[in-house]
Amino acid sequence: MNKYNDLDDIEVIMKLSLPTLRALHDCVQKSYRQWPGGDPQEQANLEILSSGLYVVLMDSLLENDLV
């Protein structure tokens, strides 16, 4: 039996360059816009992920005086 019964308890940390962060955000946005339908939670998860990546992107730009 997996010691993690709830996958939300597993934390993952990533270190990305700014161009990679932009590309990841763009990919998630494209997936959200072109979502073919199915489980509505999948679309909601894409929206949450996209919003979170946008926050990180804008914060990174502001912290580095790029906006």
The tokens for 1 are 């039996």
For the entire predicted model, the pTM comes to 0.81
pLDDT at 66 over 80: yes
Torsions phi, psi for 27 (to 5 deg): -65, -45
CA gap 23, 46 in Å, rounded: 15
For tokens 């580095």, what's the residue?
Answer: 64
pLDDT tens profile 2-42: 565 678 788 899 999 999 999 999 999 999 999 999 999 99
Q: What pLDDT is stored for residue 8 in this prediction?
A: 79
CA gap 56, 61 in Å, rounded: 9
pLDDT at 1 over 80: no
